[in-house]
Amino acid sequence: MYCLVYMSSPSREMNPVEVQALLRRAKHNNDRDAITGILIHDRRRYLQYLEGGQAEVEATFARISVDPRHHAIIRLHGLTIDRRQFPDWAMACKMSRPDDSLKSCVERLTQDCDAQVVDQLLKFAEARDRAVLGQTARIGRSA
């Protein structure tokens, strides 16, 4: 079993109908390819975790990485894992709450996950939270 994590930025804000269409397609394909995972969306970023057979996960990521609906994709090295972390989710989509840090959203979603997977997701979430804090500080200074 293999997993990978990436983060990206939406190219533009998608309306709920577009998001539903994206998720329907993702779930359909992931069911077919026995891929499970989560997608966390906080309006400015996507954080996605995919798990399954290595060939299927890499093929899925290859399609995702050329999708014009997002850009600035950064992925971490894939990891071998002993078991599925999200066996019930072809693709769970969580919108993090506006007043919430990405880190606490990840922590809530990964309570039953193995430490190495939590680490991978938190690496991105913490970097993202630091970037948001930096922006807030800059906005605060210039105001």
Ligand X SMILES: Cc1cc2nc3c(=O)[nH]c(=O)nc-3n(C[C@H](O)[C@H](O)[C@H](O)COP(=O)(O)O)c2cc1C
Binding positions for ligand X, rule: CB under 6 A: 22, 25-26, 29-30, 39, 46, 48, 60, 63-64, 67, 69-70, 91
Q: How far apart are CA 104 and CA 43, in angstroms?
A: 16
Which one, of 92, 70, 75, lies nearest residue 23 by Cα? 92
Nearer to ligand X, 69 or 94 (CB): 69
- Considering beta carbons, is residue 48 or 85 the nearer one to ligand X? 48
Q: How far is the CB of 40 from ligand X (least distance, A)?
A: 10
The minimum distance between CB 140 and ligand X, in angstroms, equals 30
Nearer to ligand X among residue 30 and residue 96 (C-beta): 30
SS3 state at 44: coil
Smallest gap from Cβ 111 to ligand X, in A, equals: 22
For the chain, the straight-line distance linking the first and the last C-alpha, in angstroms and rounded, comes to: 50
Q: Cα–Cα–Cα angle for 66, 103, 4, nearest 5°?
A: 35
**Smallest separation, CB 93 to ligand X (Å):** 9
Based on the number of CB atoms within 10 Å of its own CB, is 62 exposed (0-12), middle (13-18) or buried (19 or more)? exposed
For ligand X, the closer CB: 48 or 96: 48
Neighbours of 2 (CB within 10 A): 16
Give the nearest distance from C-beta 7 to ligand X in angstroms: 10
Which CB, 63 or 108, lies closer to ligand X? 63
